[in-house]
Structure 1
Amino acid sequence: MYTASFRTQPFTTPACIQDIESSLAEKDGIVSAVVDFTENKVNVEYDSMKTNVEKIADLITKLGYPVLSTKVS
C-alpha cells in the first residue's frame, strides 16, 4: 500500500469533504480517502496494483477539485 497527498485548489464548503471521500472510497484500489479541509489536501491510501497516483488525481479533478501538487510516501 502507498499513501499519496494531493494538494487541491481551496475547498469552498465543508460539504466538499463528504463528496470527495465517498466518491473515492467507491473506486477500486482505494483503501481510504481523508480530506483535510483547512490544508486543502486529500490523503489517499491505495493499492498500487489496482490504481495509481495519476488516476486518483484525475478522479479528484473530475469531482471539481483541481490537483495542484502530489506527494507520495
Structure 2
Amino acid sequence: MATKVNLGDKVRISFDYGVDGNGKQIIKRKAFPIIAGATDEQVYTAASKFASLCEKTLVEIEKIENYELQA
C-alpha cells in the first residue's frame, strides 16, 4: 500500500502584468513556503496582505501541497 509523505506546502500568488503585443494577458507568479500547521484561512490572509503591498493587481492565490508517494 502506498503512503504519502508531505514535502512541504507553498502558496503561489499570481499578478496581472498587462497584455503582450498579441493581446494575451501576462501573469507573473511568486511562491512562498508555508509554515507547517498554518490553516487555509491563515495562508489566504497572509497572501492577501502581501499582495496588497504590491503594485500589480492580484489575480489568484493558490495553495500547493507537495507529496511524495512511497511504497
> Whose RCO is larger (CA < 8 A, sep 6+)?
2
Q: Which has the larger radius of gyration?
A: 2
TM range (shorter): 0.3 to 0.5
Name the structure with the higher helix share: 1
